[in-house]
Amino acid sequence: MLEICRFFGIIIRMFFDEHDPPHFHAEYQGHKGVFDFNGNIMKGNLNSKTATRLVREWIDRL
């Protein structure tokens, strides 16, 4: 899985050729979540409201 960004201890990864719908994986302190590009959590949990907010702010900058 390709790491595309890292900030404040949050790692954002994407697979090159993965199933629909389009999404990315975020990891923070061992917790993992799968997000769509609207900021909705599709699976998992980062176990931090701040980390989730930062991921959503990152999406807004795309």
Q: 38 φ, ψ to 5°?
A: -100, 0
Report pTM.
0.92
In whole angstroms, give the CA distance from residue 62 to residue 53: 15
Q: Token digits for 35? A: 């997000």
- How far does Cα 42 stand from its chain's mean position? 10
Are 31 and 44 in contact by the 8 Å Cβ rule? The answer is yes
In whole angstroms, give the CA distance from residue 54 to residue 15: 21
Q: 28 φ, ψ to 5°?
A: -145, 120
pLDDT in tens, 15-62: 878 888 999 999 999 999 999 999 999 999 999 999 999 999 999 998
